[in-house]
Structure 1
Amino acid sequence: MRSFWPQSLLARLSLVMVAGLLLTQVAGSVLWTMQLRDKTEADVQSAAQYLGQGAASSIRFFRSLPPSYRSLLIQQFREMGGTRFYVALNRGEVALQQIAPQPLAQTALGALEATLRNDLAGESRLRLAFAWPEQLAVSPDGIRVGDLPEAWVRHILLLKPDPAPILVIQTELEPGNWLYLATLMPNPYFLNSNDPLSRDKLVVQGVSLAVLLLLSFLMVRSITRPLAALSDAAEAFGKDDHAPALPASGSREIVSTARAFGAMRERIAKYIKDRERLFISISHDLRTPITRLKLRAELLDDDALREEFEEDLDELDMMVKGALQCVKDSDIHENPTEVKLDPLIRRMVRSAQLAGHNVAYADSGVAVRAKPLALKRAIGNLLDNALYYGERAEISVRALPAWIEIAVRDHGPGVPEEAIASLLEPYVRLSHGRAHNDAGLGLGLGIANGIVEGHGGQLLLANHPDGGLNAVIRLPA
């Protein structure tokens, strides 16, 4: 499941909001459907009982009439525009093509039959059914309701434009005489009343869900946009870019965070400037007494003591210069630009070859967005280390989907595995390094690492399988 979980805050909040809304809609629809089903069943039973009482009265009325008067009375009803029922007399039972079985229809028929049998004591020959108008026969010889004059049924049945199921009640008045009653339920479209998937309900739910999702997405986006701006500002500040101040807009918490970040950025910038001034001042202030001590050391008569003083003063002078160089080299103020690596590395390789070193490089055609001088300094430090501590060096560049890798490999003895982690710390030098380069201070790798991290990349150190140390600069592609 973790692989399907989105990484961005906007996607996560949107997914949670969508899932929450969908689950709420589903749960609400289920509860609403259960309540609607119970209410609809109660309404249908009540309507069927009311309709059954009216049908029982009509059956008792026609049963009380002499057979010769029944047809005349039915004709008068039709000329007057009909009654609650469409009434017909037939010689036998009419075969009906019923609607597909549905729970609500069975509930209505059950309540209707119970009411009729209760009101018509001893009635045994009852035929109850629902049928669609286009399939409804009204006589045993196959005459359908659509074949009847419109005036007979237009106030009783719904035939068009949206037909409703018709309830048909047939009962035998006496042998050979069947009374045929056809009517509509009080709610003609009762079969659709408890359908949660009906078109109108789906449209309403779909529109409401879409509006809620849109508003939720806009709200989540308004919340995450300042956070994205804060992340961009933090990344730009980490790369020494001059990012504009964050806008103080959004919720109270976002505004407070933006102001706190701005104040933090100002304090860090002030601290960095103070650090630069401090190191420059210390370097300047220390050089004068160091120079004065060197002059005084020249006046010593004891040659051995004078040499010891001069060595200590030279070491102190080199440490001061190294500290100042570490501050300056790790804080190069440039604007990032598109850097073609082949010309940049070729110039460093050519300079090393002119100095008599063996350096190999093959063009890659790769470009990277970086600060040119800072990147050159980082690669140069790695190349200098490789040439100091190895017989020869190789530089290679390759493009990966997410990274650009610049590898500098030497052919020296390599580094003990337990010491690799400490190489990036300042003033750390191994015995092999001190033997090959007495003038070094152990700052080159630390400076290169600071520059690479300022670009949002990584400096990886590892022993090469074929021998020597392999230093890899990984920059975002």
Structure 2
Amino acid sequence: MGSEQNGRIKSLMPTGLLGRSLLILMTPMLLLQIVTVLIFFERHWDTVARQLSRGLAGDVVFVIDYLGQYPDPEHYEWIQNTARARMELDLFFERDAILERQITEPPFGLVSEELYVALDERLQRPFFFDLDLDDRKLEIRVQLKDGVMSIIAPRKRLYNSTTYIFFMWIAGSALILYGVAVIFMRNQVRPIRRLAKAADQFGRGVDVENFKPEGAAEVRMAATSFMSMRDRIGRHLSQRTALLAGVSHDLRTPLTRMKLELAMQQSSPGVDALKQDVIDMERMVDAYLAFARGEEGEKAVLTDIGKLLTDQVGEALRDGQQIDLHIEDSLEMELRPQSMKRCIANIMSNAGRYATNLSVRAGRRGQDYEIVFDDDGPGIPADKREEVFKPFYRLEESRNQATGGVGLGMTIARDSARGHGGEVLLEDAPGGGLRVRLVLPIGH
């Protein structure tokens, strides 16, 4: 039960750094303001309401007592004019009337309760009051021995407008402070977003230009570390390519010499076998160099993925493959064209070795662009699908080793896809065989 509640709470929390930072910053401020306002209203408003209620009750008692001592019309007229001019009270006397309703216990509400207590303590007569006579006035009715005295007073005699002004100032200043906090926090989060974007671009092989450390000291430190890592990886790839170029030269020279010497030999079963071994070695060296070289030296450019796929399918059709191509959406993406061509060509070539027909579907799926290859071959067992991505790994049971290449095709394909921030996934095709899904993120 506790874990479910924690899960619900976490689901309500903001996921972004900006939202969480604002939550951490504003929650204590909001709680402090709430506590301050509550304490103010509990004490200040209670005190003000008590004092105002006692003042109004005192004026009412004074009027009632004065009329009790001087009931003649001349004194009634004088107290009526004086109450209107000095106390802001309008007096209306209903002779021989009886108070139909009276209040015998404190009503709900701070102001109502305080006024009831003040009148009950001082008046010692049946009374009734209506604080909502209209938007500006209230009424107090008092039972006298010869009638009912109705006293109309302005609502401001009981309600202090400064309380609401104070509340508006608190709310207004809080909104201003929160707005300033949002602006400053967005400026602090922006460098982190730029760093994340630069890391994503670098992971997809896109050149990160005009990127420089900025923001807080910790963010600048992370950006500097990222730039150092980028330079180290670049140097490592350059050194690896240079080393492999030297290895390529060293291996090709003796292989070429062996081919020339074998060509001068008379044909025999042993010589023919050696010639085939030399050809296989050359193919293995070329495949290994293609895998190790990867995408080194190629820059990402805006490429029409639909046209690139169409061209590769066209080449495969010329080589005799049976391919059904359907492109739902074609869009331009930042890709390394040669690397992506090798990826697609290896997937289709792999299907061409072991299947008769191949279906290719391409289109946008949410934030990704997917190319799905469905063949009618023998497929790959589920427990072997990750194994085929290992360099030089070949399936011996379900795939013919004699025609299976050197075991680098799918390795190169996944390496290229991941170099673009994507992935190559193997699944069961709906009609039997193997489904290969090439998923590429759509850059923003």
TM range (shorter): 0.7 to 0.9
Aligned to 1:190: 158
| Counterpart amino acid of residue 165 in structure 1 | L
Query: Is 1:228 paired with 2:198?
Result: no
1:352–1:20 CA distance, 2 compared to 1 (3 A): same
Query: Is 1:334 paired with 2:340?
Result: no
Cα distance in 1 between the residues matched to 2:276 and 2:79 = 136
Asked whether the 8 Å contact 2:329–2:363 carries over to 1, the reply is: no
| Counterpart amino acid of residue 424 in structure 1 | F
Cα distance in 1 between the residues matched to 2:312 and 2:236 = 34
Asked whether the 8 Å contact 2:53–2:158 carries over to 1, the reply is: no
Per the normalisation by structure 1, the TM-score is 0.71
Asked whether the 8 Å contact 2:56–2:157 carries over to 1, the reply is: no
Larger CA deviation: 382-391 vs 394-403: 394-403
Over aligned residue pairs, what C-alpha RMSD do you find?
4.6
Query: Is 1:348 paired with 2:315?
Result: no
Asked whether the 8 Å contact 1:74–1:87 carries over to 2, the reply is: no
Aligned to 2:121: 114
Look at both structures and tell me which one has the larger radius of gyration over its CA atoms.
1
| Correspondence list, 1:74-85, <5 A | 75=78, 78=81
| Counterpart amino acid of residue 435 in structure 1 | Q
Tell me by how many angstroms 1:459 deviates. 0.8
Cα distance in 2 between the residues matched to 1:80 and 1:189 = 14
Asked whether the 8 Å contact 2:48–2:160 carries over to 1, the reply is: no
Aligned to 1:420: 385
Tell me by how many angstroms 1:356 deviates. 3.1
Residues 25-49 of structure 1 show CA distances to partners (whole Å, capped at 9, x for unaligned) of 5555444433344334543465467
Name which of 245, 256, 259 aligns with 2:221: 256
Query: Is 1:9 paired with 2:12?
Result: no
1:51–1:247 CA distance, 2 compared to 1 (3 A): farther
Aligned to 1:435: 401
Aligned to 1:275: 240
Aligned to 2:353: 388
Query: Is 1:165 paired with 2:138?
Result: yes
SS of the residue corresponding to residue 250 of structure 1 reads coil
Residues 309-368 of structure 1 show CA distances to partners (whole Å, capped at 9, x for unaligned) of 877776665544333211334436133314152x43343333333333333334545334
Name which of 439, 446, 465 aligns with 2:411: 446
| Correspondence list, 1:298-309, <5 A | none
Asked whether the 8 Å contact 2:127–2:143 carries over to 1, the reply is: yes
Asked whether the 8 Å contact 2:425–2:437 carries over to 1, the reply is: yes
Query: Is 1:246 paired with 2:211?
Result: yes
Residues 58-106 of structure 1 show CA distances to partners (whole Å, capped at 9, x for unaligned) of 837963x7x77x8369649959996659698968466679999654234
Aligned to 2:3: none
Asked whether the 8 Å contact 1:86–1:181 carries over to 2, the reply is: no
Cα distance in 2 between the residues matched to 1:452 and 1:12 = 34
Aligned to 2:435: 470
| Correspondence list, 1:362-377, <5 A | 362=326, 364=328, 366-371=330-335, 372-377=337-342
Larger CA deviation: 366-375 vs 237-246: 366-375
Tell me by how many angstroms 1:418 deviates. 1.3
Query: Is 1:321 paired with 2:300?
Result: no
Aligned to 2:112: 105
Cα distance in 2 between the residues matched to 1:128 and 1:222 = 63
SS of the residue corresponding to residue 462 of structure 1 reads strand
Asked whether the 8 Å contact 2:368–2:439 carries over to 1, the reply is: yes
Aligned to 2:74: 71
